Structure 1
Amino acid sequence: MTTENDNDKQAAALIAALGPKVAEAILPALQKQVEEQIGGVLKKNDELLDKLAKTRELDALDRLVAAADSQQRARLDKDGTFQPKSGGPTSVRLKKSDARDVQSYRAAKAEAERLGIPLEIIAD
């Protein structure tokens, strides 16, 4: 029995002596592996955050385009003619006496065509 006790004591002393040395040998390798894994996680995290940000930007852009398209469609007549916002001129008006002057008439007609609205000749 004494040999078993002596063996147990020697084994315990060997473990006590080798434990810190084994830990010192293993610790740098473990530390390197942990740092590599954390680096991979951080890289993937940045990648996913960038993807999420781009998706949000695209969603915002899609909503903006849809709103603009909706507003444009709301300004079209049944026949597809564009109608400017209310408050804008509905026609270029020219007095009958001014319409007799060729230069005034041509200028008013050109302005009406530029604005896409009709030329209206009104009484004096």
Structure 2
Amino acid sequence: MEMFMPEEPNADSKLMEQFIENATPKLLEALTEHVSKQVEESISGLKDASQKMLDEIKDQKRAAAAQAAQDKAEADRLKAMLDRKDDAATINAGLTPEPITLTRMQARDPALYRRAKAQAEKQGTTIQIVSED
């Protein structure tokens, strides 16, 4: 029985080294592309979430600024009325916003009535139902 013996004992290791030497750049390139895609996808999700959060913060700041401006306008109106020494009834009437007016037919629509009620609460006023004359 004869065993197969390579002519050079290191022939297999030389072939392996050549394979590794030739394959390594291609494997690294493929791995880099794969990892890059995964990193971009992860970063994209974080970027979208942070953009959404920043937009919400900006919206809250705008709402707070609008509320502050409205509060200042009301305070200025009150100060002007007090400076003119208006009576309490006149001051109350001047500071109370106009009621939201609905006709009887409009008030019968539940969705419209709910929206009007929510708007009235937001404005600090009431709903007034009037006849359709």
Superposition TM-score, scaled by structure 1 size: 0.51
* 1:73 alignment counterpart: 82
Report 1:1-124 matches (<5 A).
13-76=22-85, 80=87
SS of residue in 2 equivalent to 1:40: helix
Give a deviation string over 1:11-40, Cα, whole Å, max 9, x none: 554431211110122222112101101101
Higher-Rg structure is 1
SS of residue in 2 equivalent to 1:76: coil
The whole-number CA distance in structure 1 between the counterparts of 2:61 and 2:79 is 27
Q: For residue 29 of structure 2, what is the amino acid of its counterpart?
A: P
Shift of 1:58: 0.6
SS of residue in 2 equivalent to 1:30: helix
The whole-number CA distance in structure 2 between the counterparts of 1:53 and 1:81 is 33
The whole-number CA distance in structure 1 between the counterparts of 2:68 and 2:26 is 63
Q: Give the gaps of 5 or more residues in structure 1.
A: 84-124
- Count residues in correspondence: 77
Superposition TM-score, scaled by structure 2 size: 0.48
